[in-house]
Amino acid sequence: MVRGNNDKEWAEEIPHDLMVTLDSVTFYMVHNKKEVPADISGVDVVVFGHSHKYVQEEKDGAWWLNPGSCGPRQFYQEITMMMAEVTDGQIRVEKIDIPHELK
């Protein structure tokens, strides 16, 4: 978990960004994609949020993932979340669409 742009005093102990390795897959997590360092060598997966818009793309040898938003609908976007599984050094990602009524 990383701190987002609306996380205030209560979240001061939550890191701004975080790097973790699971089964030899290295993840870099940050709230805003614009704050990813220029040099992310050694990173296999970048996980970000901020836009609340689902992203799953491979870029420069790394997966760039945004699970979207599974809370209240914002900005007329779909409601999504993501399941990721790491097995034998490989990541498998599944997009989950959450049905909702359009208003």
CB-side neighbour CA atoms (13 Å) of 97: 5
In CATH, 9-97 is 3.40.50.720: no
pTM: 0.84
Q: Residue 14 region, left (φ>0) first, then alpha (ψ -120 to 50), else beta?
A: beta
The answer, yes or no, to whether residue 4 has pLDDT greater than 90, is no
Percent share of the chain, pLDDT over 90: 53
- pLDDT at residue 78 in the model: 85
Give the domain ranges of the chain. Answer: 9-97
Look at residue 33 and give its three-state secondary structure: helix
Query: Which residue matches tokens 């938003």?
Result: 69
Look at residue 62 and give its three-state secondary structure: strand
Q: What is the distance of C-alpha 9 from the center of its chain?
A: 22
What would the two tokens of residue 83 be?
């399941």
